[in-house]
Structure 1
């Protein structure tokens, strides 16, 4: 089978929305080439990325690559992706150079491309994310491992927005907690919550591909008994009270359902939000407070912000 590699030269700010656009267009995953990885201090990341080659990275900005199956509609699909990326300007998202190129690759080359960029990464004091094909030995008995196959869904669990969400879950999940993961994607946050001791996790996503990807990753990590994966639009139709609602999605989307989150989260429970770019920080914060939450902690990593809010 042949695949079309689509490459977008853009900015860090645009990584999450463009990744989502590619995912919705049918991409099985994304590769992010960020030159900051070459010189970044790893203290806050608890680990490191291995064997980075400077020749694989742009001199400025970032390059996002995704793979789409070549079919009779591929040209229309790529044109639609280009237009959706350009439209991000309407939401005050800096898309940088926005240079889009495509290359046809064979299936075996596509598989190799994933493995080239993806190695075990320790993202917190507790968690290490490991690709399914890598051998990895626990450093200590308290370490928790999340196995992911980046070919299943966009994102590998090591983006700053995901890392901050997982660190927030470490601070808030108690044994027996009920958790709702809004926009679960690959399911990594639901898996983390289950491994931390949550009794029940509801993983929600509107996209059917994400639902199937999450189910596969959840099964891979042997936590299917604790996690219920459902298709749904944010918190619409959800009435079950929860100790924690976590959402790693776009800032504008978070703002839309802060009131719904307030009606779902129990008194004293938590609303964890991430995927927030710095320019949207105040707007999201105000919406969360207006809904009846108090900000317990603000996490910052690179250009991204996450909030741990509590319903008082």
Structure 2
């Protein structure tokens, strides 16, 4: 059982409040970051709304060994934050509501993305996946489009480079359709997460993970690849041309995603001018994914 205590306050005061609560043993804290989304040349930008109010939520789990005295907790939180107890709102939270459910996703090609908590059986091939707690309730359009491109291929014997791997779904998909070796790269340390998901699908022996910034001039990865997967944004795709070209075999494939309707043509022109051929373009809402072939000797 979970107990939720909610306090409305200015975003500017949240960090101080969290620090005080942590000091007194309250660690399961959460609030939605107030942001404003706007369009820009490279897709979308975000700005933090520092003058906004937020709801800081404090969660306590109750067990037989550790019951929760709701009124006592409200009084303690009020004392810690030097506020009135009446300003702290309480509700009981059903255990199943603690994490927003990640649905089974039908990719409409015989494949499904199935989170580990899902008990429902599906008729088709499955990519098993442990969604992070903050992942949300689905996969971004670009990820789904990339998966559809990859899962229709026979990649047996191929070497794959996955840039911006995140949770590793594209790398896992490539391994599931036969890729011999997959190198997954991310600017964050995602090795444990990627390999955990890979083990769920029994492909961990063919996937290695590197932490690094592919846009930094000192970044290095050895070898040539038959496919390179890039799900970032148009400006970064343009900047990566030299790196991608130097790591892709002749007649190799680039899967470029994260572009939007108002900038994808400019990004793809960079590659077309160098002799690359655009094989196919997929549109999902404003998001664009393209499969490009290196037509060079």
TM-score normalised by structure 2 residue count: 0.69
Q: Deviation of residue 117 (structure 1)? A: 3.7
- In structure 2, what is the Cα distance between the partners aligned to 1:197 and 1:311? 21
Q: Is the 8 A contact 2:251 2:293 kept in 1?
A: yes
Task: Encode CA deviations 1:230-276: one digit per residue, 9 max, x unaligned.
Answer: 11222731231111000111222111112211121111110001111
State the partner residue of 1:268.
251
**Counterpart secondary structure, 2:120:** coil
Change (3 A) 1:221 1:3: farther
Q: Deviation of residue 181 (structure 1)? A: 0.4
Structure 2 counterparts to residues 98-109 of structure 1, below 5 A: 102-107=54-59
State the partner residue of 2:267.
284
Higher strand proportion (structure 1 or 2): 2
State the partner residue of 1:32.
none
Q: 1:234 aligns with which of 199, 203, 214?
A: 214
State the partner residue of 1:4.
30
Task: Encode CA deviations 1:96-131: one digit per residue, 9 max, x unaligned.
Answer: 999965333345799855743411111230321111
Q: Does residue 131 of structure 1 match 2:115?
A: yes
Q: Does residue 299 of structure 1 match 2:282?
A: yes
**Larger displacement relative to structure 2 (252-261 or 101-110):** 101-110
Task: Encode CA deviations 1:136-167: one digit per residue, 9 max, x unaligned.
Answer: 3231xxx3212222226746762110011111
Q: Deviation of residue 168 (structure 1)? A: 1.5
**Counterpart secondary structure, 1:238:** coil
Q: Deviation of residue 305 (structure 1)? A: 0.2
Q: Is the 8 A contact 2:250 2:294 kept in 1?
A: yes
Change (3 A) 1:246 1:12: farther
Q: 2:239 aligns with which of 228, 231, 256?
A: 256
Q: Is the 8 A contact 2:282 2:289 kept in 1?
A: yes
- In structure 1, what is the Cα distance between the partners aligned to 2:183 and 2:95? 31
Change (3 A) 1:263 1:4: same
Q: What do you get for the CA RMSD once the two structures are aligned?
A: 3.2
State the partner residue of 1:22.
none
Higher helix proportion (structure 1 or 2): 1
| Gapped regions of structure 1 (runs ≥ 5) | 15-88
State the partner residue of 2:74.
none
TM-score normalised by structure 1 residue count: 0.66
Change (3 A) 1:281 1:129: same
Q: 2:148 aligns with which of 167, 176, 179?
A: 167
Of structures 1 and 2, the one with the larger relative CO (CA 8 A, separation 6+) is 1
Structure 2 counterparts to residues 1-312 of structure 1, below 5 A: 1-8=27-34, 10-11=36-37, 93=45, 102-107=54-59, 112=96, 115-139=99-123, 143-151=124-132, 154=135, 158-208=139-189, 210-234=190-214, 236-312=219-295
- In structure 2, what is the Cα distance between the partners aligned to 1:134 and 1:92? 32
Q: Is the 8 A contact 1:247 1:274 kept in 2?
A: yes
State the partner residue of 1:55.
none
- In structure 2, what is the Cα distance between the partners aligned to 1:106 and 1:238? 43
State the partner residue of 1:27.
none
**Counterpart secondary structure, 1:6:** coil
- In structure 2, what is the Cα distance between the partners aligned to 1:90 and 1:217? 30
**Counterpart secondary structure, 1:275:** strand
| Gapped regions of structure 2 (runs ≥ 5) | 1-26, 62-93
Q: Is the 8 A contact 1:278 1:303 kept in 2?
A: yes
